[in-house]
Amino acid sequence: MNGIEKIKAKSKDEQLEMAKNPSTSEEDLIMLAKVGNHRVRKILANRDGVSTATMLSFIQNSYLKLVISERKNLPPEIIFKLTEEDNWVIREKIASHPELPKEVILDLANDESDYVRESLLASHKFSEDFLMEVVKNDKRLIRKTFASSEPLPEAVARELVKDDYWGTKVALAKNSTAPVDVLAELTKDRQAVVRKALCQAPKLPKDILKTLGNDENEGVIEELFKREDFTEQDLDIFLESTNWRARAQVVKNSNVTEKQLLVLSGDGEKRVKIQMAKMPKLPDEVVLKLVFGETQGNNIRKLVLKKELSTNVLIQLAKEGDSYVKKMISKRGDLPEEAIKILSEDEDEKIKANLKAS
């Protein structure tokens, strides 16, 4: 009976004891790795003191390979070998290893898996000298990966912002340690995808908010207003945006104030006021300003006058509204008595007919 047959003939408990025994020869350990169950293989995978050659033999087994990839005391030969694995889970675990050769770091930074690259960045801090070398790397995915490294030295960021690959600048825009002057430079980028990424940067100074609010690209404005951290002061900046879409987005923001809505209700761009008129509820003063301030066309007034309106607003509309306004509200079934009295005295027979019908 040869060696491997002898090991096979042992009970599971005997194989387990053999795997734990420090005096078991490495030749027997290699054979045991081929026939043992998962409990035995787990012991082998975590066993200290085995040679690199034995470990290379171990990682021919998929289970052993996975467990070994989690170890932090791996020799360089094993690291290199596991970096070449097709299974991204193993490469992700290697990326978190504390001692990685430079060649492996660059290989992992160029990995097709986001998870592997994220593991690398989460587990390591890179020197400014190393990152300055990376800036010149001819592989754009490597440059993009390290643009997300935090903390990112300012000198490195100022080099990366010149990169001709949009992905690098998108990563830079999202980096919470990128300096303000670099963020300002990104607002000038000709590619909207870069400016959209900047809209979700962790922190944006007010002058950059102002620049983004003036962006001519609709997608940039939409991305900017996905943020949920705008203060009243931030929204004040957008009240003066040259792009009307930014002003229209202020209307929908949950932090918008009545004062700001009043300003926007007099906006020179009709589409801003239409956006406001579509809102489910508006303050009384804003309603009145939208109704009385509209002199051309009735689209905005029609939208506003169909809303739920307060008693005070309805009375004021009955008193001061023009013929169109009075005809619209005279159809309502929720008019207060005072408004009905005022409208019933109007000379327009259509208004009186509407009152009777309602």
Q: What is the mean pLDDT of residues 94-123?
A: 96
Q: Please compute the mean of the pLDDT values over residues 317-326 and round it to a whole number.
A: 93
Exposure string of 312-338, with b = 16+ CB inside 10 Å and e = fewer, is ebbbbbbeebeeebbbbbbebeebeee
CA distances from 128 to 139, 146, 158, 255 (A): 19, 11, 12, 41
Query: Per residue in 157-198, pLDDT tens?
Result: 999 999 999 999 999 999 999 999 999 999 999 999 999 999
Inform me whether the pLDDT recorded for 95 exceeds 90: yes
Write down the pLDDT at residue 36. 83
Q: What is the pLDDT of residue 328?
A: 93
The average pLDDT across 120-131 equals 96
**Cα 274 to Cα 232: distance, rounded to the nearest angstrom:** 22
Asked if the model's pLDDT at residue 245 lies above 90, the reply is yes
Let me know: does 163 contact 143? Beta carbons within 8 Å: yes
Per the listing, tokens 């200290």 go with: 48
Token digits of residue 113: 């898996």
Predicted confidence (pLDDT) per residue in 213-223, tens digit: 999 999 999 99
Are the beta carbons of 74 and 97 closer than 8 angstroms?
A: yes
CA-nearest of 222, 182, 229, 169 to 202 is 229
Q: DSSP class of residue 204?
A: -
Give the sign of the dihedral formed by CA 130, CA 133, CA 139, CA 140.
Answer: positive
Binned at pLDDT 50, 70 and 90, residue 344 comes out as very high
The H or E element that residue 203 is part of is none
CA-based Rg of the chain, rounded to a whole angstrom? 35
Q: Which residues contact 111 (CB under 8 A, 6 or more apart)?
A: 88, 91, 95, 117, 120
What tokens were used for 32? 């045991």
Residue 1 has pLDDT above 60, yes or no: no
Q: Over the range 197-211, which residues count as b (16 or more CB within 10 Å of their CB) and which as e? A: bbbebeebeeebbbb
Write the DSSP symbol of residue 13. Answer: H
pLDDT at 3: 77
Model confidence at 295: pLDDT above 80: no
Determine the 3-state secondary structure of 333 from DSSP. coil
Task: Read off the pLDDT of each residue in 278-286 and give the average, rounded to a whole number.
Answer: 93
Kindly indicate the confidence band of residue 341, based on its pLDDT and cuts at 50, 70 and 90: very high
Of the pLDDT bands very low, low, confident and very high (cuts 50, 70, 90), residue 229 is: very high
Q: Is the pLDDT of residue 358 over 90?
A: no
Predicted pLDDT at 119 = 97
Number of H helices, E strands in the chain: 28, 0
Q: Are 26 and 55 in contact (CB under 8 A)?
A: no
The pLDDT, as a whole number, for residue 322 is 92
| pLDDT value, residue 302 | 93
Mean pLDDT (whole number) for 60-64: 91
Q: Rounded to whole angstroms, how far apart are CA atoms 357 and 333?
A: 9
Give CA 79 to chain center in angstroms: 33
Percentage, residues of the chain above pLDDT 70: 99
Q: Are 192 and 213 in contact (CB under 8 A)?
A: no
Q: Are 279 and 296 in contact (CB under 8 A)?
A: no
CB 354, CB 318: distance < 8 Å: no
pLDDT at 205 over 70: yes
Residue 203 to residue 152: CA distance in whole angstroms: 15
Burial class (CB in 10 A: 0-12, 13-18, 19+), 262: middle
Average pLDDT, the chain: 93
Instruction: State how far the Cα of 50 lies from the Cα of 36, in Å rounded to an integer.
Output: 17
Q: Give the per-residue pLDDT at 356.
A: 85
Q: Is 336 helix (H, G, I), strand (E, B) or coil?
A: coil
Mean pLDDT lowest among 23-27, 80-84, 128-132? 23-27
Task: Judge whether residue 210 has pLDDT over 80.
Answer: yes
CB 106 within 8 A of CB 133: no
For 34-48, 129-143, 175-189, 241-255, which range has the lowest pLDDT when averaged over its residues? 34-48
